[in-house]
Amino acid sequence: MFGMLEDTNIFGTLDEPYPLRTADTSSPRDTLRSFIREMKDGLQAWKNSEDRSAYVEPVFRATQTLDLRDLQQYRQRAAMVIKVTLLNEILDRIEMPPYDQIPGTEEVAATGLTRWTIPNSDITIEKIETGPRAGQFLFNRETVRDLKDFYKKARHLPYKRGAFVGLYDEVRYSPGIWLPPTLVDHIPLWATKIVLGQGIWQWIALALTLAAFLLVLRGLYRAGVRWDASVGEGSMAWLRFGIPMALLIAIGLAELVYRFAVFGLGLMELPLEFVSYTVLVIQVGGFAWFTVLISGRIADAIAEHQRASQGSRFAEAALLRILFRLASIFILAYLAIYAAEALGVPIAPLIAGLSVGGLAVALAIRPTLENVVGGLTLFADRPVRVGDFCQYGSKIGTVEEIGLRSTRIRSLERTLVTIPNSTFAHMELDNFSVRDQRLLTTILQLRYETTPEQLRYVLTELRTMLLAHPKVTEAPARVRFVGYGTYSLDLEVFAYLRCQDQDTFLAIQEDIFLRMADIIETAGTSFAYPSQTLYYARDRGTDAERAETAEARIGEMRVRQKLPFPEFEDEERERLQDTLEYPSAGSPHYQPRVRGGEIDAAPPSAQPPTTNEPKTTPLWHRLLDKLKGHQKPTHPHG
């Protein structure tokens, strides 16, 4: 190639460097001339061991003549060197057309030419139609992609006069720009032999570099684990940065190893791909691990700080964990996209595919989204918190974790129950941990043989006991005689106890029940139980005198037309309204009733009925008196 330059001098020479200029790609002729000229200057400076910029900048301008859009961004630099080297090797071997047969700017403007192919080859220079380099003529994508195949087909051809012989092999076993090019002069000849695309000395140096890197990674991890173990999980948990710091250092060291492999050892092709993928996995995996780890530890540190400052359990720590976990998911998604782009995986078709199958994806992830929303709802409404003892549906347990997808509850059987958040959020939740008091209610059933005075004694002592008990609230502690049961006199006890947990409640309830038993035993009565009692006694019959009095009163009401069937008349209802004493006489709350400015000596119902009617004896009373007059006198002694 360089021989052609010297023979024809059609491309001109470059005596003075112009570091700010770019490659001229306005036509196929300009593109080809720029590539040959820049490669000649760069290789000559590299061969003469000149300053780094003397050969790096020209080679970089040579790469500007290639369409490199299909190269993986992650290892594009090293790949560009290989591409221009292969293209230079090919052009140094194949025949080139005369200068006037290569289309220039005038021909492009006159004919509208968009592509030109070197005769007898597939090497094509094509005009870019879109993108930031639109309008430029570049060696097209297909040419750049197939340069390795083109080189394999052309490497048996002899070099032209003045060409750089063995450039491809020398580039592969030469060190990078961080090391002097003369380093290969001090390496044994056998070490420069190419094996799997790289010199033997480079494979040896790469193995030693990776071994040292792995040893450093192992030491960093162990140091991080020891540091975190020494700090613990107490109030100093925010100092547990051992493993996260080790991960950050590992990520930085991996980048250093990659750069040393490229710019120090000068790795290319297969070895560089191996190092690139290894470093990419370490960096992406390490940063993902760091993200998940640091998000959880930040949430724990905030929760610990709140617990120490508030002196109580900080249940929002679980919410913080969920929020940090969501943030971690977004970061991990970004890392996945970054890794895909670095490896050359097209993201746009993947997103388009997701949009086409969006309905199926939405249906597939709907349960997961419902669980996430359910978890956030639990934290927003706070029906229960981590550590709360609650009833969910018909079961009871202690909430141990409210996660992003599910809630975990420790049952009374000490099993761990996992419930999806969407289901748990719709359950009827009874939170026992937020109770300020506990209800004690029971029915005491006394024997029917209990006399009214015994019953009053029991009620009095039970009320006294509840009022005096330090664990019973004053209101609404009550004991009431509530009814006549099938076989018992029923007393209802209703009170609130000053406690929350079940064990304390059972202890106080036990104490109150025992005191109730003592009171009932002291009253001389006992509890009733389902039974039937058979009484053997002489029948005393009915009380004739009291029966006569009752019949006389009903007869009088019948004569006066005052029987309350079906109802009292309005005047009688008004007269009877509020005439009984309550509380009754003897109660500390008893107050005599005042009627018409005078204190009633007795309730109106106990006074004999008054009427303005003439006191006439009913007919059936006179007949009863006559019957009594005809009875035989009874002997005084029987």
CATH number of the domain residue 470 falls in: 3.30.70.100
Binning pLDDT at 50, 70 and 90, where does residue 632 land? very low
Please provide residue 233's backbone torsions phi and psi, each rounded to the nearest 5 degrees. Answer: -120, 25
CATH number at residue 405: 2.30.30.60
Positions of E strands within 347-498: 389-392, 395-402, 406-411, 416-420, 429-431, 438-446, 478-484, 489-497
Compute the distance between CA of residue 558 and CA of residue 206 in angstroms, rounded to an integer. Answer: 125
Compute the distance between CA of residue 479 and CA of residue 576 in angstroms, rounded to an integer. Answer: 29
> Does residue 261 share a domain with residue 218?
yes
On whether the CB atoms of residues 288 and 271 are closer than 8 A, the answer is no
> Does residue 260 share a domain with residue 162?
no
Say if residue 564 is exposed, middle or buried (CB neighbours under 10 Å; 0-12, 13-18, 19+). Answer: exposed
Alpha-carbon distance values, 632 to 322, 461, 625, 635 (Å):
105, 56, 14, 9
Average confidence (pLDDT) over 362-387: 73
> Does residue 150 share a domain with residue 17?
yes
Number of other CB atoms surrounding residue 97 within 10 Å: 12
The answer to whether residue 359 sits within a structural domain is: no
Compute the distance between CA of residue 389 and CA of residue 409 in angstroms, rounded to an integer. Answer: 9
Cα 118 to its chain centre, rounded Å, is 61
Alpha-carbon distance values, 167 to 85, 183, 263, 264, 498 (Å):
7, 17, 18, 19, 92
Task: Report the pLDDT value the prediction gives residue 610, as an integer from 0 to 100.
Answer: 42
Strand partners, 489: 446, 484
Strand partners, 443: 492
On whether the CB atoms of residues 417 and 397 are closer than 8 A, the answer is yes
The answer to whether residue 293 sits within a structural domain is: yes
**Global model pTM greater than 0.75:** no
The most confident of the ranges 67-81, 174-188, 438-452, 560-574 is 438-452
> Does residue 421 share a domain with residue 395?
yes
> Does residue 507 share a domain with residue 464?
yes
Query: 126-143, pLDDT tens digit by residue?
Result: 999 988 899 999 999 999
Q: Give me the number of domains the chain comprises.
A: 4
**Domain boundary, last residue among 503, 522, 541:** 522
243 Cβ contact partners less than 8 Å away, ≥ 6 residues apart: 221, 224, 225, 228, 293
Task: Report the pLDDT value the prediction gives residue 484, as an integer from 0 to 100.
Answer: 93
> Does residue 442 share a domain with residue 423?
no
> Which of 551, 572, 565 is CA-nearest to residue 621?
551
> Does residue 139 share a domain with residue 212?
no
Compute the distance between CA of residue 526 and CA of residue 489 in angstroms, rounded to an integer. Answer: 11
Rg (CA), the chain: 53
**Domain boundary, last residue among 155, 173, 191:** 173
Task: Report the pLDDT value the prediction gives residue 421, as an integer from 0 to 100.
Answer: 86
**Domain boundary, last residue among 484, 500, 522:** 522
Q: What's the distance, Cα to Cα, between the start and end of the chain in Å?
A: 165
Cα 110 to its chain centre, rounded Å, is 66
The answer to whether residue 368 sits within a structural domain is: no
Task: Report the pLDDT value the prediction gives residue 595, as an integer from 0 to 100.
Answer: 58
> Which of 399, 368, 395 is CA-nearest to residue 386?
399
Dihedral over Cα of 127, 148, 50, 267: its sign: positive
Task: Report the pLDDT value the prediction gives residue 308, as an integer from 0 to 100.
Answer: 62
The answer to whether residue 25 sits within a structural domain is: yes
Average confidence (pLDDT) over 407-430: 90
Task: Report the pLDDT value the prediction gives residue 74, as an integer from 0 to 100.
Answer: 59
Peptide bond into 566 cis (omega under 30): yes
The answer to whether residue 105 sits within a structural domain is: yes
> Does residue 443 share a domain with residue 420?
no
Task: Report the pLDDT value the prediction gives residue 495, as an integer from 0 to 100.
Answer: 94
> Does residue 330 share a domain with residue 287?
yes
Alpha-carbon distance values, 562 to 30, 47, 462, 559, 622 (Å):
132, 139, 43, 8, 22
The answer to whether residue 137 sits within a structural domain is: yes
The answer to whether residue 466 sits within a structural domain is: yes
Q: What angle do CA 24, 27, 31 make, to 5 degrees?
A: 45
> Does residue 444 share a domain with residue 423?
no
On whether the CB atoms of residues 197 and 216 are closer than 8 A, the answer is no
Task: Report the pLDDT value the prediction gives residue 3, as an integer from 0 to 100.
Answer: 31
Task: Give me the domain span that covers residue 213.
Answer: 201-345
Kindly tell me if the per-residue pLDDT of 16 is higher than 70: no
DSSP at 540: -
Rounded mean pLDDT of the chain?
80
On whether the CB atoms of residues 353 and 363 are closer than 8 A, the answer is no
> Does residue 318 share a domain with residue 382?
no
The answer to whether residue 275 sits within a structural domain is: yes
For residues 196 and 546, which has the higher predicted lDDT (pLDDT)?
Answer: 196
> Does residue 105 share a domain with residue 241?
no
Binning pLDDT at 50, 70 and 90, where does residue 6 land? very low
On whether the CB atoms of residues 270 and 207 are closer than 8 A, the answer is no
H or E, element range at 422:
helix 421-424
